[in-house]
Amino acid sequence: MEIPANLETLQAEQAGARLFRQNCVSCHGSPGVPASVQGLKPEPPNLLRAGRRNDPAQVFGKIKNGIPGTAMPAWGDQLPDQSIWALAAFLHHSRGISKGDFDALSSAETDGSPKSR
């Protein structure tokens, strides 16, 4: 799987953070917010924990295709590849993110122009 050039732009990370807040927090939690879905086996990991690798290519595949034998569904029929890559960029960049930084990043509006860090 080829990772897009300039994957971790501020615009992509903001888009990924918003998607994570909208679609992933209920199972994976976020800084200061525990997962609201309980009883899943195996328990979904804390994807924003400091020290996680969150390899973008692996993350992309897991989001797009789901993870067999777990509650992780495939999102490939619901999200375009660009959005899945934005989630991968956010998860790769934001390991160990604070609650305040997550809240700011996931609520930021972008004007659609490319931005880089």
pLDDT per residue over 31-88, tens digit each? Answer: 999 999 999 999 999 999 999 999 999 999 999 999 999 999 999 999 999 999 999 9
Its pTM stands at 0.89
The CATH class for the domain spanning 10-107 reads mainly alpha
Q: How far apart are CA 82 and CA 85, in angstroms?
A: 5
By the 10 Å C-beta count (0-12 exposed, 13-18 middle, 19+ buried), 54 is classed as buried
Q: How far apart are CA 29 and CA 12, in angstroms?
A: 20
Residue 33 phi, psi dihedral angles, 5° rounding: -130, 110
Whether 109 has a pLDDT exceeding 80, the answer reads: no
In the chain, where the domains are located:
10-107
